[in-house]
């Protein structure tokens, strides 16, 4: 927080479960685009969406993509400290993410937002899995927060609610549902 570029507002870029479960009070929500990054199922989940014996996958953001479309939230200033504590407990629990201040296009307005980017050298980093392997893992994994498939579906549908079409997630969801018999 000491290096944040804007001292009057705190924005958070959401590309996965934060879209549908932000965990902090906010006063504004906008569709947003982050250039140069991509969303991928590249984090092993041995608790929330899997088990140590049958890990699931979670979404991570990594460099190298054309762009990642998601949602950006402006935190409620009256609850910012509590919101940041809750956000840090959730996203920084295992250290698989590195928080960065990056400029995102928030529905036509550039804003500096906290963005959680995956750490490739972390033990939870699953690497670049092909779609078939990813679909197999997601279809069979279940953890404390439910089936890994639900995490994927909720993210896909939350993006659709803000008019963001993600063809990769759509194709992955179709493959997972075919494997899981939905």
Catalytic residue, from 9, 28, 91, 136: name it: 91
Residue 52, number of CB atoms within 10 A of its CB: 9
Is-contact 95 119, C-beta < 8 A?
Answer: yes
All residues at 6 or more sequence positions from 123 whose CB lies less than 8 Å from its CB, including other chains: none
- The DSSP symbol for 32 reads E
Question: Is 91 a residue of the active site?
Answer: yes
- The DSSP symbol for 76 reads P
Is-contact 77 95, C-beta < 8 A?
Answer: no
Query: Which residues participate in catalysis according to the annotation?
Result: 91
């Amino acid at each position: 927080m000491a290096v944040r570029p804007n001292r009057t507002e705190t924005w958070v870029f959401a590309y996965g479960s934060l879209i549908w479960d932000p965990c902090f009070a906010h006063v504004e929500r906008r569709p947003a685009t982050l250039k140069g990054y991509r969303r991928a199922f590249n984090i092993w989940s041995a608790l929330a969406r899997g088990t140590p014996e049958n890990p699931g996958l979670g979404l991570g953001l990594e460099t190298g993509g054309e762009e990642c479309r998601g949602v950006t939230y402006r935190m409620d200033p009256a609850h910012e400290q509590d919101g940041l504590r809750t956000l840090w407990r959730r996203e920084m629990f295992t250290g698989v993410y590195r928080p960065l201040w990056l400029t995102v296009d928030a529905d036509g307005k550039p804003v500096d937002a906290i963005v959680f980017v995956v750490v490739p050298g972390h033990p939870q980093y699953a690497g670049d899995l092909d779609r078939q392997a990813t679909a197999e893992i997601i279809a069979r994994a279940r953890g404390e927060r439910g089936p890994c498939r639900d995490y994927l579906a909720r993210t896909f549908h939350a993006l659709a609610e803000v008019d963001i079409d993600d063809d990769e997630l759509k194709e992955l969801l179709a493959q997972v549902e075919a494997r899981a018999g939905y």
